[in-house]
Amino acid sequence: MEILWLDQDDVKFLLDMPSALEAVEMAFAQHGRNKVQMPPKSYLYFTEHNGDLRTMPAFLEEEDVAGVKVVNVHPENRKVGLPTVMATVILNSTSTGAPLAIMDGTYLTDIRTGAAGGVAARYLARANSSVVGMVGAGNQARTQLEALSNVFDLEQVYVFDLDTSRAEKFKEGMESVACCDITVVDSIQKACDVDILVTTTPSRKPIIKAQWLPEGLHINAIGADARGKEELDPSILQQARVVVDDIAQATHSGEVNVPLSEGYIRQEDVFAQLGQIVAGLHVGRESDAQITVFDSTGLAIQDIVTANLVYKKAKNKGMGSKAKLF
């Protein structure tokens, strides 16, 4: 029995943002219609090493595709020249359970997370949004902006990062992608007076204050993806329309996890899951003045539907190498 092996170069060649946006939007719609099986991601915490390991299985019933992603998050990896996030995705046959493909999931994770932010903003941000603020300038920020540039006609981007040199590199690398001016700012507050705000930090305390936010703002809260992480002042969640990717997962690892545990909000204060809005079961934004928040924890359905897209393209193009299992 042979398995298709696809390394990161293969995945980068085969996966583009427009295709990922389409695939991820479809996955969210199936999630909204309860046509997926996806237990919340499970964690192993390596406290001594300031890291964790997560397993993320999913089955999309309408697509008849299944698999699992294994992914780490180790913020200290930059010091040793490794990515903060590294992942592997395994696709399995639903008829036999046999592994069909193993592929790099690191780049795939960046792209599908960016695509989720793009889908969320499509349904929750104002349709004429053109100014974006970025708090954090790492790999996740790059794909978030790439996705937004595929959904909106952007005119201006403001970026803040604690590491100014990283923000400058972001500007250099992303101006041609976003097709607009990018300005590095020296405070988080200066990145907040925008149409769409994207936060991609590993913060464990609020860094975005409610009084900084203009009416009508949409926030893609991306950074909080594990217990104890939070980027937004809890009072923002009290006044905004809050949409999560998956309620079971968000309550223990998303932006809402700390405000829920400390009693600032209740689970009933979460308006909907994004898939319910994509599927047409709920309305995303009701007015131009409304503040909306998308709490992204990262779903296994995003990984599996995107990996399946890569797998199909690889087979059509005869790419990848084959490994014998037994």
Is 254 part of a structural domain of the chain? yes
Q: Is there a binding annotation on residue 223?
A: yes
Spatial contact of 157 and 136, defined as CB atoms under 8 Å apart: no
Entry field: residues in the chain: 326
In terms of domains, do 103 and 159 share one?
A: no
User: Which among 109, 74, 73 is positioned nearest to 89, based on CA atoms?
Assistant: 109
- Out of 69, 205, 312, 317, the active site residue is 69
In terms of domains, do 158 and 303 share one?
A: no
Is 90 part of a structural domain of the chain? yes
Tell the residue number behind the tokens 């980027």, with chain if given: 231
Q: Give me the tens of pLDDT residue by residue for the chain, a chain 326 residues long.
A: 899 999 999 999 999 999 999 999 999 999 999 999 999 888 899 999 999 999 999 999 999 999 999 999 898 998 999 988 899 999 999 999 999 999 999 999 999 999 999 999 999 999 999 999 999 999 899 999 999 999 999 999 999 999 999 999 999 999 999 999 999 999 999 999 999 999 999 899 999 999 999 999 999 999 988 788 999 999 999 999 999 999 999 998 899 999 999 999 999 999 999 999 999 999 999 999 999 999 999 999 999 999 999 999 999 999 999 988 88
Spatial contact of 179 and 155, defined as CB atoms under 8 Å apart: no
Structural domain containing residue 173 = 124-297
How many domains, in total, are found in the chain?
A: 2
Cα separation, 63 vs 311, in Å, equals 14
- Predicted local distance difference test score (pLDDT) of residue 277: 98
In terms of domains, do 139 and 243 share one?
A: yes
- Predicted local distance difference test score (pLDDT) of residue 30: 97
In terms of domains, do 58 and 186 share one?
A: no
- Which CA distances in Å does 96 have to 92, 100, 136, 195? 8, 10, 43, 48
- Predicted local distance difference test score (pLDDT) of residue 84: 86
In terms of domains, do 219 and 81 share one?
A: no
Q: Is there a binding annotation on residue 139?
A: yes
- Predicted local distance difference test score (pLDDT) of residue 326: 86
Q: Which CATH number belongs to the domain containing residue 218 in this structure?
A: 3.40.50.720
Cα separation, 138 vs 145, in Å, equals 11
Q: Is there a binding annotation on residue 112?
A: yes
Q: Is there a binding annotation on residue 225?
A: yes
Is 119 part of a structural domain of the chain? no
- Predicted local distance difference test score (pLDDT) of residue 280: 97
Is 136 part of a structural domain of the chain? yes
In terms of domains, do 20 and 154 share one?
A: no
DSSP-derived secondary structure letter, 147:
H
**pTM (2 d.p.):** 0.93
Q: Which CATH number belongs to the domain containing residue 100 in this structure?
A: 3.30.1780.10
In terms of domains, do 84 and 233 share one?
A: no
45 phi and psi angles, rounded to 5 deg: -100, 125
- Predicted local distance difference test score (pLDDT) of residue 75: 87
Cα separation, 132 vs 154, in Å, equals 8
Per the annotation, the verdict on 205 as an active-site residue is no
Q: Is there a binding annotation on residue 27?
A: no
Cα separation, 244 vs 253, in Å, equals 11
Is 77 part of a structural domain of the chain? yes
Burial class (CB in 10 A: 0-12, 13-18, 19+), 187: exposed
In terms of domains, do 74 and 185 share one?
A: no
In terms of domains, do 140 and 279 share one?
A: yes
- Which CA distances in Å does 21 have to 17, 24, 203, 210? 6, 5, 27, 30
In terms of domains, do 281 and 152 share one?
A: yes
Query: DSSP assignment of 75-108, as one string?
Result: GGGGGGT--SEEEEEEEE-TTT--EEEEEE-HHH
Is 63 part of a structural domain of the chain? yes
User: Which among 109, 179, 176, 172 is positioned nearest to 151, based on CA atoms?
Assistant: 179
- Predicted local distance difference test score (pLDDT) of residue 85: 85
Cα separation, 214 vs 15, in Å, equals 35
Q: Is there a binding annotation on residue 261?
A: no
Please give the helix or strand (H or E) that residue 18 lies within, else none. Answer: helix 17-32
Tokens of 286: 């009701």
In terms of domains, do 102 and 173 share one?
A: no
Helices and strands in the chain, H and E counts: 10, 18
Distance of CA 92 to the CA centre of its chain: 23
Please give the helix or strand (H or E) that residue 72 lies within, else none. Answer: strand 65-73
Is 117 part of a structural domain of the chain? no
- Predicted local distance difference test score (pLDDT) of residue 57: 97
Cα separation, 277 vs 289, in Å, equals 19
In terms of domains, do 79 and 181 share one?
A: no
